[in-house]
Amino acid sequence: MQTAELPELMWEKRLALEYKLMRENEPLFDIVDNDLTHYMGVIIGSGIYENGYFRVEIFVPRSFPFTPPEIIWHTRIWHPNFSDDQPARICESLLKADWSPSIHLFSIVETLRNLLNEPNPDDPLNSIAAMELKYNPEIFKAHVRQYILAFAREDQAFI
């Protein structure tokens, strides 16, 4: 089964729109090497992830917007909805079953920010982090702080 693609002119217009919207809404993200299909940026945590700086890379496939972009979460993180790998896998239905061609790249970054700051222990990729959050939140918060100090410092994110 072949994936649909926009005609070339519409594809170029969509990429230009995505770039404009990203610059307006996500100033910590920019294209890499003048390539409108490749973004790198930083999501700054809040709440228990405060002072955490998380590097994220976005690759826009030619089949976009009919298929979601590839997201690479470079910063190791202690979170129920991210794997404890580097790069981390992300548990997010928006990037799979709930994907729609009307979704813009800046919306994905906002969704990732919301997921970061509002962990859902009932849909985990990291079951240990989920158990800690549910049954021993103080241990979970301490674990998060350790990871931020070790992996998510500002000087590590902006390299």
Please identify every residue annotated as catalytic. 91
Spatial contact of 108 and 71, defined as CB atoms under 8 Å apart: yes
Q: Which helix (H) or strand (E) holds 40?
A: strand 35-44
Q: What angle do CA 82, 138, 145 make, to 5 degrees?
A: 55
Looking up tokens 């700054």 gives 44
C-alpha distances in Å from residue 152, one per residue of 44, 49, 59, 113, 142: 9, 9, 22, 14, 14
DSSP state of 67: S
Q: What angle do CA 125, 37, 114 make, to 5 degrees?
A: 35
